Structure 1
Amino acid sequence: MSTKSLMSKPIVFAHRGASGICFENTMRAFKEAARQSADGIELDVQLTADGVPVVVHDADLYRIAGIRKSVSALHFSELQSVKIGSKFFRRFKGHRIPTLREVVSFCELNRLALNIELKETVSERPEFLREIIDMAMLLDDVHLSSFDPEILMKVKAMAPFLETALLVKAKTTDWDHLEKYDFVNGFNFHKRLLKEPYIGAMIASGKRLRVYGVTGKEAIALQPPAYIDGWITDFPDRFK
């Protein structure tokens, strides 16, 4: 049974963990999300050179580690020594990049839902998708999301009953024919799309709708309409 069916309010996903106060996609951010009573975690997955699914947003390490190397150019054993974090503190108080397996185990232990966003290195190497799917299916409440419709098609072909969600864009999504996205169960969309014609099209699709980019201070967050199934936010405590 999904978390949503047990709740009257939209499910709250902590975006890259409680990233409003902790550094994104770290175990500290995920533990803080659990402490703030988030319903679930949203995270990003890239692949190392040897195909290990790791939890990091950028394909390149420069922003988070100050290193001009890509995640996919490093083996997992090399990536373990990389410290990530805020620019002026990562040398002394840096975090390591967790594996997807580690966070799945954390979510299972803490009964958290999980939104796994598949990033570009997964799209480039779909031969490793089976491993990600097998990890995801250890959880009762999980969905795989991506901006790339082709990787989501592959997910559905491999695991028809696993929930998928397309991250939609105003310019590239075919809003007049959302029915053609029959390989997804829902749409995850930015709050700036909470207007017509996008809302009407998404409601008519009959699929789950989750909104990201929300801070908890928006008027719609105080009285959410019935068509919103979930929030994806840096500040999960503001929704609880």
Structure 2
Amino acid sequence: MGIDLPALIGHRGAAAVAPENTLAGLSAAHQAGVTWVEVDVKLSADNVAILMHDDDLRRTTDGHGPVRQKTFAEIAALDAGSWFDDRFKAEAVPTLQAGLQHLQALDLGLNLEIKPCRGRGPQTAAVAAAVLAAHNFPLEQVLITSFDWTAIAWLAEHAPRWHRGLLAENLNCDWQASSQALGCVSLHVADSAVDREAIGKIHDAGMCAAAYTINSVDRAAALRAAGLDAVITDDPGQLLPALPADGA
């Protein structure tokens, strides 16, 4: 397989204990002991790559309105932490550039999910790839994934050096042919769709198998025993001690 994924990846940093997609969240994941994190990237109105999951600002900031209609200056002025806990009221929405700098300082690997606003898949992939290249982030420490397969297609054609993976809710889609055509090294599917048979199918296709979002110790241990390569979790501090030593 084309990439060596860790057994545990912190989801949006460590979303159970710190505000998602923030520098504080990345620090929390590092403190929990994981070696990789997953974060989401999308574009502001002026095409700045930022760490953000939702298309609207309301849930994870004190702002509101579509991300695609706000400049980065407008987004940067928002509080991205108080919604989670008052302790994080100083947290801002970071740029991908700031996130990469923080990850490099912490020596964390990155599962970067391209989470584009509608119709901006290839454009988001292009900007993210340019930011990654400018930081000279180690190839073996980056995996780019997306539910928007047009974003992955752009990467396959224009930035093929980066490892790529597909996201899917289940295996009831054209994942095998698409993964092969796009040179993907992993398939990431929802917890509800993962079992030993599904893991076997993904491995038979020559790819790593990852599952999201798993916060149960027993479930994580069972899937690892069934051959799952990577568990994506909101609570790495809870799950990591329960996994085998090679799960770090």
Does TM, normalized by the shorter one, top 0.5?
yes
* Change in CA separation of 1:223 and 1:174 when aligned onto 2, cut-off 3 Å: closer
Distance 1:231 1:84 in 2: 26
- Residue 147 of structure 1: aligned partner: 147
Name the TM-score, length of structure 1 as normaliser.
0.86
SS at match of 2:81: coil
1:136 touches 1:142 (CA, 8 Å); kept in 2? no
Pick one of 62, 74, 78 that aligns with 1:78.
74
Equivalent residue runs for 1:33-182 within 5 Å: 33-87=29-83, 93=89, 95-121=91-117, 123-124=119-120, 126-137=122-133, 138-140=136-138, 141-170=141-170, 173-174=173-174, 178-182=176-180
CA RMSD, aligned part only? 2.6
Q: Aligned pair 1:22/2:18, yes or no?
A: yes
SS at match of 1:121: coil
Q: Structure 1 stretch 79-88 or stretch 158-167: which is displaced more?
A: 79-88
What is the aligned-residue identity percentage? 26
Distance 1:27 1:143 in 2: 19
SS at match of 1:4: coil
In the alignment, structure 2 segments of 5+ residues that lack a partner are 242-248
* Change in CA separation of 1:20 and 1:129 when aligned onto 2, cut-off 3 Å: same
Question: What is the deviation of 1:220?
Answer: 4.5
1:11 touches 1:40 (CA, 8 Å); kept in 2? no
Distance 1:206 1:114 in 2: 21
1:11 touches 1:39 (CA, 8 Å); kept in 2? no
Q: Deviations over 1:7-29 (max 9, x none)?
A: xxx43211011111111111111
Question: What is the deviation of 1:213?
Answer: 1.2
Q: Deviations over 1:96-145 (max 9, x none)?
A: 10110011111112211101111122851634533311333422210111
* Change in CA separation of 1:216 and 1:4 when aligned onto 2, cut-off 3 Å: farther
Q: Structure 1 stretch 85-94 or stretch 26-35: which is displaced more?
A: 85-94
* Change in CA separation of 1:218 and 1:124 when aligned onto 2, cut-off 3 Å: same
Question: What is the deviation of 1:229?
Answer: 2.1
Name the TM-score, length of structure 2 as normaliser.
0.83
* Change in CA separation of 1:20 and 1:88 when aligned onto 2, cut-off 3 Å: closer
Q: Structure 1 stretch 189-198 or stretch 50-59: which is displaced more?
A: 189-198
2:196 touches 2:223 (CA, 8 Å); kept in 1? no
Match of 1:68, as an amino acid?
H
- Residue 215 of structure 2: aligned partner: 215
* Change in CA separation of 1:160 and 1:166 when aligned onto 2, cut-off 3 Å: same
